[in-house]
């Protein structure tokens, strides 16, 4: 993060931000992802293992995280964190319970019947980003709506770190959400595995959850054979503030989007030099 106070430099920076996902780069990524998807479709687990070693730097075997590891992660996190996750779980569940659509039947006077019936998909895959950061909230926000809807089988995929381990808090959130099928894989290969199935991972009806440009491109390519939630990202936020705004709040909002992806864009426009300096200091404090 840096402070820019010259018009020419600001224009150049905005130009860089607005073209960071140009079509030429997107076409290159699309070709790479298409190759990965096809390879996973044909070779299954062998391809998933190959690309995990290549891009994430670890051997994913065994791919599935054991039930004991998931349970132990919950047992090992501190009580304050547990309570925070429980509160978040309750609030998210309460919200989604309110939006369950209602089925209805209309009977006509001549014996005709018209219905709208809502049924959950049989199984769903949720993608939880990992590696650079941990997103237990993403587990809750993807798993809980599926549970509330009545989805029978939920498979979670999330890339491990260089040692091949998924963040403990992410696994704890999976335990709290009732997820017992967790695979330590990510990227386009994980989307391909969920979309087409492998020996170890069952094919799912729908995939939800955010990811980087490779994950998003993979979701775009498999859409049609498998349902998806949306094509999200890269994250962007623009905050306009004067000297009366709280620097800590601004820094938190900027970081909340910047952490998602190296291509994320977090911008503050302020009329106060002191405000800009204070926010920059807060950013470095929070990022330690």
pLDDT tens track for 106-142: 999 999 999 999 999 999 999 999 867 788 999 999 9
| Domain boundaries, position 198 | 56-93+116-228
Answer yes or no: do 242 and 221 share one domain: no
How many Cα neighbours within 13 Å face the side chain of 33?
A: 23
Instruction: Give the 3-state secondary structure of residue 206.
Output: strand
Residue at which a domain ends, from 188, 210, 228: 228
Residue at which a domain ends, from 228, 253, 270: 228
Residue 214 CA to residue 219 CA, distance in Å, equals 9
Q: Is the per-residue pLDDT at 24 higher than 70?
A: no
Residue at which a domain ends, from 204, 228, 252: 228
Q: Is residue 244 part of a domain?
A: yes
Quote the pTM value: 0.84
**Mean pLDDT of the chain, nearest integer:** 92
pLDDT-derived band at 164, boundaries 50, 70, 90: very high
Residue 237 CA to residue 233 CA, distance in Å, equals 11
Distances (CA, A) of 152 to 81, 84, 126, 288: 28, 26, 13, 41
pLDDT at residue 150, rounded to an integer: 96
Q: Is residue 44 part of a domain?
A: no
Residue 85 CA to residue 171 CA, distance in Å, equals 12
| Cα angle: 224, vertex 230, 234; to 5 degrees | 130
Q: Each residue of 47-83: b (16+ CB within 10 Å) or e?
A: bbbbbbeeebeeebeebbbeeebbeebbeebeeeeee
Compute CA 281 distance to the chain's CA centroid, rounded to the nearest angstrom. 28
The total number of structural domains that make up the chain: 2
Tens digit of pLDDT for each residue in 244-261? 999 999 999 998 888 777
Q: Is residue 240 part of a domain?
A: yes
């Amino acid at each position: 993060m840096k402070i820019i106070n010259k018009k020419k430099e600001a224009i150049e920076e905005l130009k860089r931000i607005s073209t960071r996902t140009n079509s030429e780069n997107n076409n290159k990524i699309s070709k790479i992802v298409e190759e990965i998807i096809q390879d996973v479709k044909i070779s299954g687990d062998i391809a998933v293992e190959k690309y995990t070693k290549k891009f994430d730097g670890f051997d994913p075997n065994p791919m599935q995280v054991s039930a004991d590891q998931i349970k132990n992660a919950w047992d090992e996190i501190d009580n304050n964190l547990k309570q925070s996750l429980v509160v978040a779980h309750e609030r998210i569940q309460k919200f989604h319970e309110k939006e369950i659509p209602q089925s209805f039947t209309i009977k006509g006077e001549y014996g005709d019947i018209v219905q709208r019936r809502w049924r959950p998909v049989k199984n769903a895959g949720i993608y939880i980003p990992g590696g650079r950061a941990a997103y237990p909230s993403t587990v809750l926000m993807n798993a809980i709506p599926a549970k509330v809807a009545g989805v029978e089988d939920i498979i979670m995929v999330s890339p491990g770190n260089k040692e091949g381990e998924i963040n403990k808090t992410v696994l704890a959130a999976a335990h709290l959400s009732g997820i017992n099928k967790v695979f330590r894989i990510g990227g386009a290969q994980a989307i391909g595995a969920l979309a087409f199935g492998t020996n170890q991972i069952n094919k799912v009806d729908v995939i939800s959850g955010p990811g980087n440009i490779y994950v998003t491109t993979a979701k775009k390519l498999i859409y049609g054979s498998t349902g998806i939630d949306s094509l999200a990202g890269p994250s962007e936020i623009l905050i306009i503030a004067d000297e009366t705004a709280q620097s800590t709040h601004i820094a938190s909002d900027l970081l909340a989007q910047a952490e998602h992806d190296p291509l994320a864009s977090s911008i503050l426009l302020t009329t106060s030099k002191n405000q800009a300096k204070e926010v920059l200091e807060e950013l470095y404090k929070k990022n330690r």
